[in-house]
């Protein structure tokens, strides 16, 4: 029987994919996760909707609640990353100070952290409207939609910026994989 440690790549890292709703964050994360798993990496995708249901239930969408949610996800991501897991985090994280706090947590622990801005324009996201949020906001059924009537602070200097409207999901995931490889993480 083979020892499980011998069958897995155990260098952890967090890849935080930030961007507007329907930018393509989760789709890119799952595409990348498949590639990494096929190579023997331990991988987890911390989906924002699942986190809100199971870890951040009860939080709303005020600035304070969004910050708390991002910090909870950041804690979990850092914990997984420093224990050998490639942690892919497709979460909006609309505020720069919240994302910076997560980056600092990783720096303090020595866990690698990569910020990817999925910089899909609002008009493209609204057409994709994967969850119907833009339609609900336009119909007056939803308030506080990030990038529409609630702020989204774009990263000034992300490690990688992806314009998903100009490439396939596979090309977007490959760009993140290339960055991981360049940093010795894939």
Which residue in this structure is represented by tokens 């940093």?
A: 183
What is the predicted pLDDT for the residue at 8?
Answer: 55
Which pLDDT score, from 0 to 100, does residue 49 have? Answer: 87
Two structure tokens written together for 142: 């939803």
Low-confidence ranges of the chain (pLDDT < 50): 1-6
For the CA atoms of 73, 154, 45, 186, the dihedral, rounded to the nearest 10 degrees, stands at -120
Please report the pLDDT score of residue 174 as a whole number.
98
pLDDT value at residue 5: 45
- The gap from C-alpha 25 to its chain's centroid, in whole angstroms, comes to 6
CA separation for the pair 75, 105 (Å, rounded): 8
For the record, the structure tokens of 119 come out as 């910089």
Q: What is the pLDDT of residue 11?
A: 85
The confidence score (pLDDT) of residue 1 equals 44
Helices (H), 23-168: 25-38, 48-54, 63-81, 96-109, 122-128, 133-138
């Amino acid at each position: 029987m083979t020892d499980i440690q011998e069958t897995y790549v155990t260098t952890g890292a967090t890849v935080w994919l930030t961007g507007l709703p329907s930018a393509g964050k989760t789709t890119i994360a799952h595409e990348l996760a498949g590639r990494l798993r096929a190579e023997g990496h331990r991988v987890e995708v911390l989906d924002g909707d699942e986190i809100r249901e199971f870890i951040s239930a009860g939080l709303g969408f005020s600035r304070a609640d969004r910050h708390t949610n991002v910090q909870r996800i950041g804690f979990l991501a850092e914990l997984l990353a420093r224990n050998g897991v490639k942690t892919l985090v497709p979460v909006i994280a609309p505020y720069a100070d919240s994302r910076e706090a997560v980056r600092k947590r990783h720096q303090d622990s020595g866990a690698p952290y990569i910020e990817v801005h999925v910089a899909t324009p609002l008009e493209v996201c609204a057409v994709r409207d994967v969850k119907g949020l833009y339609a609900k906001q336009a119909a007056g059924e939803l308030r506080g939609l990030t990038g529409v009537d609630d702020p989204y602070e774009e990263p000034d200097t992300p490690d990688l910026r992806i314009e998903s409207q100009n490439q396939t999901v596979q090309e977007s995931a490959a760009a993140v994989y290339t960055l991981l490889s360049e940093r010795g993480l894939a």
